[in-house]
Amino acid sequence: MNVRRGTWAAALPSKCVTEVLARDRKCPECRHYFMSSNPSDFVVNYPLLRMARSLAATGLGFHADISINTSNPASVPQPNAGDCPAHGSRMFFRCMRCSVWVCRDCVVVDHPVPPRGLCRILAISDALEEMKKSHKVLVNAKVKACQKAKESLENKVSDLQAAQNQQRDTANRLRSLLVEVNANLKDLKSKKMEILKKISEIDSMVEAARHTGESVEQAATIDDYTAAIEDTNASLASLEKHVAEDTQEIPALLSMPVLSSQTLVGLLDAGTSIFATTEKEGQPRWARVTRQDDRLHLHALRDGLPGAGCFTLPVSGCLGLVSMCVLLV
């Protein structure tokens, strides 16, 4: 059935126009008198016809998921996102595919749902609920990633603590080498405190992210939700930036201090056995470090671990002294 309009700006279905012409030729809305007696003389209101057909084809006007409860509009005000800048109507829906608030005219003209289009339309309450859930998933994922980074840093703290203890044992054995060993201890302690500081900063930022996430969940209005989202996005951006900066700084903090060749010579002269250790395919290997002809010699690697009570250091610590090391097979 076509929707027709006349010069008086009213629009009626063709069947209604026929009935009015047969009765008194007066518009039931504005009481304008129809001069023509033939319904075909009235032009078709194509925009309104297209909207009506679209609504009929999609069932949007009666769809339970996006319908507005009008049983008692005065006592139960419907949430809305303000007036549509394009059509002037209240925006009671959100297009989840395009991430914009929309009115009924937007849905029919610009955001058609399947099979006419690809948009997915939800009422504001449903859209907010879905957006909150999605945001919660995002926050949880970011928090888990930060927790994983924190656990990795905590493991590195243990490694640094073990190296610190090793250096402390060396200082207790050889007081004459205490100056250099104490310098190494200070370096390790400073690195450990720096990592602990970073862990504390991550904890604070994670807590802030959780707090802003709770603010999103507790948002009661569009303005509250928008403000909470802005705070959360800022918090997450700051957290990601901080973790990225830490990732760049961590390698320098994890570099272990290396004893000088003079210190190694002093240990050997004091009768301490020195072994360089490494791993290959998960298996420990070691090589003895000796002093011959006033030079340090690194012997061939062997499987297993050296005996207890020996002084050990990573192979990389010896290779750093390559100018005074000779590899013996």
How far is C-alpha 312 from the geometric centre of its chain's CA atoms?
Answer: 43
Model pLDDT, residue 328: 44
- Least Cα distance to 274 among 283, 262, 264 occurs for 264
Q: Distance between CA 152 and CA 329 in Å, rounded? A: 37
Percentage of residues in the chain with pLDDT exceeding 90?
A: 13
Q: Are residues 161 and 230 in the same domain?
A: yes
Rounded mean pLDDT, 108-114:
87
Among 210, 237, 254, give the residue marking a domain's end.
254
Q: Are residues 224 and 275 in the same domain?
A: no
Q: Distance between CA 211 and CA 193 in Å, rounded? A: 27
Hey, what's the torsion of the CAs at 34, 19, 37, 32, to 10 degrees?
0
Q: Are residues 146 and 220 in the same domain?
A: yes
Residue 231 resides in a domain: yes
Bigger pLDDT: 139 vs 29 = 139
Among 232, 254, 276, give the residue marking a domain's end.
254
Residue 60 resides in a domain: no
Q: Distance between CA 103 and CA 119 in Å, rounded? A: 14
Q: Are residues 246 and 305 in the same domain?
A: no
Bigger pLDDT: 139 vs 236 = 139
CB 11 within 8 A of CB 48: yes
319: confidence class by pLDDT, cuts 50, 70, 90: low
Q: Are residues 201 and 137 in the same domain?
A: yes
Q: Are residues 202 and 223 in the same domain?
A: yes
Q: How many domains does the chain have?
A: 3
Residue 274 exposure: Cα atoms within 13 Å on the Cβ side: 24
Q: Are residues 36 and 145 in the same domain?
A: no
327: confidence class by pLDDT, cuts 50, 70, 90: very low
CB 288 within 8 A of CB 299: yes
Residue 56 resides in a domain: no
Percentage of residues in the chain with pLDDT exceeding 70?
A: 72
Rounded mean pLDDT, 193-199:
81
- Least Cα distance to 115 among 47, 46, 48, 59 occurs for 59
Q: CA separation (Å) from 43 to 28, 32, 40, 51, 257?
A: 18, 16, 7, 16, 90
Q: Residue 129 pLDDT > 50, yes or no?
A: yes
Residue 314: domain span: 261-328
Please give the single-letter amino acid code of residue 258: V
CB 302 within 8 A of CB 292: no
pTM strictly above 0.75: no
Q: Are residues 237 and 202 in the same domain?
A: yes
Residue 196 resides in a domain: yes
Rounded mean pLDDT, 125-145:
92
What tokens appear for 235 in the block?
């918090």
Q: Are residues 234 and 271 in the same domain?
A: no
Dump pLDDT digits (tens) for 152-168.
Answer: 888 888 888 888 887 77
Q: What CATH number does the domain containing 226 carry?
A: 1.20.120
Residue 145 resides in a domain: yes
Q: What Rg do the C-alpha atoms of the chain give, in angstroms?
A: 39
Q: Distance between CA 272 and CA 195 in Å, rounded? A: 32
Residue 250 resides in a domain: yes
Q: Are residues 277 and 217 in the same domain?
A: no
Q: Are residues 140 and 197 in the same domain?
A: yes
Residue 102 resides in a domain: no
Residue 244 resides in a domain: yes
- Averaged pLDDT score across all residues of the chain: 75
Among 254, 276, 309, give the residue marking a domain's end.
254
Q: Are residues 137 and 196 in the same domain?
A: yes
